[in-house]
Structure 1
Amino acid sequence: MDYSTPAGTVRGLQEVTLTVPRSGITVFAGPSGSGKSTLLRVLGLFERPARGTLRFGGTDTGVLSHAARRALRRRHLGLVFQNPPENLLDFLSVADNLRAAAQSARRPCDPEAILARLGLDGTGDWRVSALSGGQQQRLAFGCALARGSSVILADEPTSQLDEASADLVIRTLRSLAEEEFAVLVASHDDRVIELGSRVARLRDGRLEGIERR
């Protein structure tokens, strides 16, 4: 990825080659500015790489139209941002957020079943603002489930949370991995990194190495 700045073009990512497995937690770890979030957005099909190839299930996403990329993202990918309110529609109830997510992928939805799965039983009629930060993040993961996402990407999902709320999100990540989703997480939180079945270390936009656990 290249970015234009007043000082010239900056290369955000370079020489990154990796294969993401169909299940388990892959953590992208590294200091701020190492390229973690940029890589996550490229893998989530929100940005196109300036060079190189990105394949999803054997499909070269670089040759797809904007509409085809959006359809692929809608059917298979769910992205959870680090700031909980950015993931949700605050004018809808908790259950209606799940219904809206499912509708965007033209899927049926059972909000109560998803909420029970996330430990949010009984909150369906609540406004989003009535949820804690950790509960909002869990609901964001629930929206990815409602869309039928097979790959869930999370950008620093615990960075805006207190320790207790972060623990709830970490528990959710572990649960999703046990259900054999592919979970990709950008994080510098040691507790999240410890969850990773694979940890890709980034620095200055380069992949330094991959630890398999």
Structure 2
Amino acid sequence: MDYTTPAGTVTGVDGIELTVPAHGVTVLAGPSGSGKSTLLRVLGLFERPTRGAVSFRGTDTGTLGHRARRALRRDHLGLVFQNPPENLIDHLGVGKNLLAAAQSTGNQADPEAILDRLGLGGTADWRVTALSGGQQQRLAFGCALARGSAVILADEPTSQLDEASADLVLDTLRLLAGEGHAIVVASHDDRLIRLGDRVAWMHDGRLTALDEHTGPHTERAKP
């Protein structure tokens, strides 16, 4: 993935081969500037790679036009940004955010049922601003559920949160992984990395190691 800058061409990610399983947590890990957020945007079909290909369920997304890519992203992929308010419609209540998310893909949703699953029961009539940062991130993941997203991508979902709020996000990821969802997270949060079923370690835009998880979650050593 190349970018043109006043100083010349900059490569964001290069030479990466990665298959994301249909369920479980895949973490893109590495220091700031390693290319993990760029790779996440490419996987989420927000950017077209300048080289190579991205396939989704056997379809080469590079052959799709703008409208088809947008429809695939809308109907199958959910993206959670690192800044909680960016994920939600602030003038709608909590429950109505879930309904709006479902309606955007032609789905139906039971806001109370989703909120109960996420530990947010009783907040359907609250304003979004009444939720803590961690609760807002939980609601953002709930919106992805309401849309029926097959894959949920999250860019540094705990980076803007205090420890207690981050714990809420980690609990949500455990819940979704346990329910069989496919989750891809870009993060350098050690606790989130330990949560991953597999960790793709990145450095200078390249994949340097792939740590496959085979047993109970344990401390992972950085390569």
Instruction: Report the TM range for the smaller structure's normalisation.
Output: over 0.9
Partner Cα distance (2:19, 2:77) in 1: 16
1:138 partner letter: R
Residue 15 of structure 2 aligns to a residue whose secondary structure is: coil
Residue 109 of structure 1 aligns to a residue whose secondary structure is: coil
Partner Cα distance (1:32, 1:50) in 2: 22
1:145-156, aligned counterparts within 5 Å? 145-156=145-156
1:183 partner letter: I
- Structure 1 unaligned blocks of 5 or more: none
Partner Cα distance (1:166, 1:6) in 2: 38
Cα deviation, residue 5, structure 1: 1.2
Runs of 4+ in 1 over 6 A off after TM superposition: none
Residue 13 of structure 1 aligns to a residue whose secondary structure is: coil
Cα deviation, residue 209, structure 1: 1.2
1:204 corresponding residue in structure 2: 204
1:134-145, aligned counterparts within 5 Å? 134-145=134-145
Cα deviation, residue 206, structure 1: 0.5
Residues 109-130 of structure 1 show CA distances to partners (whole Å, capped at 9, x for unaligned) of 1100000010000100111000
Indicate yes or no: 2:35 matched with 1:35. Answer: yes
Cα deviation, residue 51, structure 1: 0.7
2:161 corresponding residue in structure 1: 161
Partner Cα distance (1:61, 1:49) in 2: 10
Indicate yes or no: 2:123 matched with 1:123. Answer: yes
Residues 39-84 of structure 1 show CA distances to partners (whole Å, capped at 9, x for unaligned) of 0010001110001011000000000011101111111100000000
Q: What TM-score comes out, normalization by structure 1 length?
A: 0.99
Partner Cα distance (1:158, 1:18) in 2: 24
2:139 partner letter: L
Partner Cα distance (2:34, 2:165) in 1: 26
2:217 corresponding residue in structure 1: none
Residues 143-199 of structure 1 show CA distances to partners (whole Å, capped at 9, x for unaligned) of 000000010000000000000000010000011001110000000000000011100
Indicate yes or no: 2:79 matched with 1:82. Answer: no
2:53 corresponding residue in structure 1: 53
1:195 corresponding residue in structure 2: 195
Residue 210 of structure 2 aligns to a residue whose secondary structure is: strand
Partner Cα distance (1:3, 1:175) in 2: 37
Partner Cα distance (2:186, 2:101) in 1: 23
Cα deviation, residue 3, structure 1: 1.0
Partner Cα distance (2:151, 2:50) in 1: 23
Residue 78 of structure 1 aligns to a residue whose secondary structure is: strand
2:13 corresponding residue in structure 1: 13
Partner Cα distance (2:7, 2:46) in 1: 25
Residue 172 of structure 1 aligns to a residue whose secondary structure is: helix
Partner Cα distance (2:32, 2:4) in 1: 19
Residue 27 of structure 2 aligns to a residue whose secondary structure is: strand
Indicate yes or no: 2:118 matched with 1:105. Answer: no
Cα deviation, residue 106, structure 1: 0.4
1:118 partner letter: L
Cα-Cα RMSD? 0.5
